Amino acid sequence: MPLIFITGGVRSGKSHFAEQTAVAQYQNESLREKRLVYIASGVATDKEMEKRILRHRGDRQAQGVTWHTIESPYNVNVAFSELVEGDVVLWDCVTTWLTNAFYEGFDRGTPCVEKPGCLEEKLRLMKEALVTLLEKKVTLFVVSNEIFDEPPYTSEEVELYRQMLGKLHQWFVSVANEAYEMNYGIVKKWK
């Protein structure tokens, strides 16, 4: 299965590029029984996020194709297990999923980031599911945010997030067939 990793700054055009490329891949395939799948990691926790989710939905609807959406803010490994041979899949996005992983359980008193081994387990499950998915005939586009141009943060929690995301990006690129970075709507192919 091809894995295409796409990163870039906020509002850089990475999601639009990923959507267009996934649709083109879907339309070029000869298997009509396959699905165009969108794995959504966003949770509408505030008005800004609600607007972003609605904008992304509208962008997908405007493309004239039907997306099968799987809402997966926490257990993306379960979403991966629902994919079938021939699917063309867009997961948007890793940074939102990792944020959700950090704070899952907050509403019950203890977020994952404060539980020993919790984040490591979530990362392990996601990676194992993705590696298993690589064996299927599925095309997977993975979108993430580039947040590494800023100086280190004084908050240990934020710096832990940046470090984990950086290592995760390196892992994605190592297993990806292609890797792209978006800046100002311009695509740079790195791999």
Q: What is the pLDDT of residues 63-99, one digit of tens each?
A: 678 888 888 888 899 999 999 888 999 999 899 999 9
Distance between CA atoms of 134 and 81, rounded to whole angstroms?
Answer: 11
CA 16 vs. chain centroid, Å, equals 13
pLDDT for residue 17: 92
The runs of H, that is alpha helices, within the chain are 14-28, 47-61, 76-81, 94-103, 118-134, 156-175
Pick 75 or 51 by higher pLDDT: 75
pTM above 0.95, yes or no: no
CA 121 vs. chain centroid, Å, equals 18
Distance between CA atoms of 41 and 15, rounded to whole angstroms?
Answer: 13
For 181, the token pair is 């970075």
Distance between CA atoms of 185 and 129, rounded to whole angstroms?
Answer: 31
Q: What is the pLDDT of residues 142-191, one digit of tens each?
A: 999 887 777 777 788 888 889 899 999 999 999 999 999 998 888 999 99
pLDDT for residue 143: 95
Residue 136 reports pLDDT greater than 70: yes
Exposed e or buried b per residue across 64-77, where buried means at least 16 C-beta atoms within 10 angstroms of its C-beta: eeebeebebbbbbb
Range in 55-59, 64-68, 104-108, 151-155 with the lowest mean pLDDT: 55-59
CATH code that applies to domain 8-189: 3.40.50.300
HSE (side-chain half, CA atoms, 13 Å) at 151: 1
For 120, the token pair is 């490591």
The single residue listed with the structure tokens 């387990």 is 121
- At 103, give phi and psi (nearest 5°): -105, 5
pLDDT for residue 13: 85
Distance between CA atoms of 94 and 168, rounded to whole angstroms?
Answer: 9
